Amino acid sequence: MQTVIKNTDEKMNKAVHHLETEFSEIRAGRANPAVLDKVKVDYYGAPTAINQLAAVSVTEARTLIIQPWDASVLRSIEKAIQTSDIGINPQNDGKVIRMIFPPLTEDRRKEIVKEIAKMGEDAKVAVRAARREAMDKLKSMKKKSEITEDDQKDGEKKIQDITDKHIKNIDSLTDKKQKQIMEI
């Protein structure tokens, strides 16, 4: 029974971690190197992450500087950013690439807040699915007489407590991110 609870907690932690990763990739009008995490550059035939080819730094609140270690890859990085869905046009000066993030409009902020709410809801769905799976597993174990009815009730209570903790965490992360977007 302990393994069921432990596995459920791990699955729920993964859902929360995935949500945090998605939130870090949201372009919120501020320069954030995480927006480049999904962008891959064709480097000698292999798709490679930008942070493996260049130093990525934030110089000002809205400016991201990409300085490749190998100058020959500058054009490839620029092309990869242009073809990505970031929506920012990189500026290449021959040595570095500058990405200037425009301030968000009120409408765009509201759209992002809706996207954040949807991501939070998706994470809650994943947590609830892990809970349902664990509850079914406990019922199955009770049916096979592997655990007693008291053990089943105790396990269900522990799983519900873990679920409540993760749902509360997701709500907190979602609210924090939404406030951050509306304050920018």
- What is the predicted pLDDT for the residue at 105? 83
Are residue 147 and residue 163 in the same domain, yes or no? yes
Are residue 40 and residue 128 in the same domain, yes or no? no
User: Is the pLDDT higher at 183 or at 5?
Assistant: 5
The domain of 46 spans 33-100
Range 38-58 average pLDDT: 89
Could you tell me the pTM of the whole model? Answer: 0.71
Asked whether 112 and 104 are in contact (CB, 8 A), the reply is yes
What is the sign of the dihedral through the CA atoms of 89, 100, 24 and 112? negative
Task: Convert the pLDDT of each residue in 93-116 to its tens digit.
Answer: 989 999 988 887 888 888 889 999
What is the sign of the dihedral through the CA atoms of 143, 9, 153 and 121? negative
Backbone angles phi, psi at 43, to 5 degrees: -115, 105
Are residue 21 and residue 84 in the same domain, yes or no? no
Give the percent of the chain with pLDDT over 90: 58
The domain that holds 53 is classified in CATH as: 3.30.1360.40
Give how far Cα 76 sits from Cα of 16, 21, 152, Å: 34, 26, 58
Are residue 57 and residue 124 in the same domain, yes or no? no
Task: Convert the pLDDT of each residue in 65-76 to its tens digit.
Answer: 999 998 889 999
Across the beta sheet with 63-68, the strand order is 54-60, 63-68, 97-100, 91-92
- What is the predicted pLDDT for the residue at 31? 76
User: Is the pLDDT higher at 62 or at 140?
Assistant: 140
Are residue 96 and residue 111 in the same domain, yes or no? no
Q: What is the total count of domains within the chain?
A: 2
The domain that holds 111 is classified in CATH as: 1.10.132.20
